[in-house]
Structure 1
Amino acid sequence: MTGHQRQILDELRHIEEKHGVKILYACESGSRAWGFPSQNSDYDVRFLYVHPVAWYLSIEEKRDVIECPIHDMLDINGWELRKALKLFKKSNPPLLEWLYSPIQYHEAYTVAERLRQLAQKAFSPRAAIYHYLHMAKGNFRGYLTGERVKIKKYFYVLRPVLGCLWIQKHQTMPPLVFEQLVEELIPEGSRLRADIDALLVRKKAGDELDVGARVESIHAFLEEQIAHLEKLAGEMPVAEGVSTAQLDELFRSALDEVWSATGQFGAK
């Protein structure tokens, strides 16, 4: 276990004590999970948590996120389980990414695995493609339209575009690891593949990849694929769907699993 991993686990325990919650699952969600962190990249830790049962027995709507100030390269935020389940029912791509993150810091209960078992049923190719396409277009317009561009932002357009192409091909959530997407979807030996691989080597080596001349092969690929995906998105299938009853049962059993085990079921 690295020093940062120990620090993350200590922070998660502190959050539990400070907020009186139990953390069900915690993972990495940013560039470290995607496989291309810079030397100064934050640790983007995301987690799911539950309050004791009595917290839910109130007529008041309460805050359903925990957000910690960024410090020591740690960016830690979490969603309360009921919020997460509502988003899961809508096939929320960030939540699905968390569940399949290749870097998992903490998984103490069965909730995350039960959600993974329901994920393909909940997954909506149409909703996911719209999500990733919106991300790609925003970064493309914001950083890549001039003759000189912010080079590292190519990754923040390539990843969602390749995610869309994965969904088109497989009808499943795309993997988080960027190199898996490249290996599957960009032909080896092509100019495009060579240019992407070269940028990836530079980013992993710690190059700033600041403003520079645009990479024509990548630029042309992104323009072509964004136009293609704009036409495709509305034709993609929607989710089979998970019922509210199924997620209600999962929620109630999660509360029972967490708080019965600690002897605090129903505690404030």
Structure 2
Amino acid sequence: MKHIIVDKIHEIEREHQVKVLFAVESGSRAWGFPSQDSDYDVRFVYIHRPEWYLSIDEKRDVIEVPINELLDINGWDIRKALKLFRKSNPALMEWLVSDIRYYEAYGFKEELLALRERVFSPQASVHHYLHMARGNFREYLQGEQVKIKKYFYVLRPVLACKWVEKYNTNPPILFQDLVQELVTESGLKEAIEDLLRRKIAGEEMNLEKRVDVINEFIVREIDHLTDFAQSTRRDLDDPTEMLDQLFRKYLKTVWNFG
């Protein structure tokens, strides 16, 4: 599959006259709970030629490839990515540590990865993951019967928030790492691991009675984390000048500009 994705990346470069700086997996495969029929959620960052940026008009700064049953591919322009990096965007932070890497060039990803903790905002991270957990819990886990897969889209962001609370750093991308480090109640851990085995085996769409020990944990933690979110704060030096320099560096490196 990797060669198909790399071919698609090169096709995007030709069609849009850009250079891709890196491309990674970002969905359930990267999080550690793929199903047998999971598609591939490919995310990338790219850079246009210098003249593209020298315009009086704002231009579209994303590239989206039509989704099919196997591939979901889209990417951000480097300037958009750096603006979001400045805000400690959790999705981008996950891209940087994804273990499933399809394509890398010019050293850009490694440079951002080295700077990741310098821009980390616990407030941005907790609010992102807590909003995700609340929304998915409200939407999918309220009935007497629920789908197995929906538990993971609430548990993972809850555990990501708990990681920030405990370590004040970006949470790891793998769900299993979060469970191993943060779930200490044996009954709860056993229930989560059982669901994980079943999801990977392909039972994720089954409707069945909700798992009370997991639901109780989620309700308790969402209440607690809502209070914790009010206290998260970290004063950071403004990284804008550093990121401006990085932007100019890669215009020169990739296109021999200036």
Moved over 2 A (4+): none
Deviations 1:65-93 (A, max 9, x none): 00001125110000000011111111111
Alignment RMSD (CA, Å):
1.2
In 2, Cα distance between equivalents of 1:245 and 1:259: 21
Aligned to 1:18: 15
Alignment check: 8 A CA contact 2:119 2:239 kept: no
State the Cα distance separating 1:146 from its structure 2 match. Answer: 1.6
User: What is the aligned partner in structure 2 of residue 224 from structure 1?
Assistant: 220
Deviations 1:31-70 (CA, angstroms, capped at 9, x unpaired): 0001110111110000000000011111011010000011
Within 2, Cα distance between the matches of 1:131 and 1:114?
24
- Is 1:237 the counterpart of 2:252? The answer is no
Cα distance in 1, alignment partners of residues 156 and 150 from structure 2: 10
| Deviation digits for residues 10-31 of structure 1 (CA, Å, limit 9, x no counterpart) | 0000000000000001100000
In 1, the alpha carbon distance for the partners of 2:61 and 2:204 equals: 36
Deviation, 1:105, is 0.9
Q: Would you say how many aligned residue pairs link Structure 1 and Structure 2?
A: 258
Q: Does 1:195 align with 2:191?
A: yes
Tell me how far apart the structure 1 counterparts of residues 213 and 60 of structure 2 sit (CA, whole Å): 46
What residue is the counterpart of 2:47 in the other structure? 50
Q: Which residue of 2 aligns with 1:133?
A: 130
Question: Is structure 2 residue 245 aligned with structure 1 residue 212?
Answer: no
Match of 1:168 in 2: 165
**How far did 1:205 drift?**
1.1
Is residue 2:38 matched to residue 1:41? yes
* Cα displacement string for residues 134-184 of structure 1 (whole angstroms, at most 9, x for unaligned residues): 000000000101211222100000000000001111111111110000000
Q: Equivalents in 2 of 1:108, 1:174: separation in Å?
A: 25
- In 2, are the aligned partners of 1:149 and 1:211 still within 8 Å (CA)? yes
- Please, what TM-score do these two structures have when normalized by structure 1? 0.94
**TM (normalized to structure 2)?**
0.97
Letter paired with 1:237: R
1:208 to partner: Cα distance: 3.1
Which residues of structure 2 form unaligned runs of 5+?
A: none
Q: Is the 8 A contact 1:91 1:239 kept in 2?
A: no
The code of the aligned residue for 2:190 comes to A
Contact 1:118 1:242 in 2 (8 A): no
Between the aligned partners of 1:233 and 1:208, the Cα distance in structure 2 is 31
Contact residue 12 and residue 23 of structure 1 kept, 8 A: yes
In structure 2, the partner of 1:142 is: 139
| Correspondence for 1:88 | 85
SS at structure 2 position matched to 1:24:
strand
Distance 1:159 1:63 in 2: 32
| Structure 1: tracts of 5 or more residues without a match | none
Report matched runs for 1:169-188 at 5 Å.
169-187=166-184
Question: In structure 1, what residue type is equivalent to 2:2?
Answer: Q
Q: Paired residue for 2:66?
A: 69
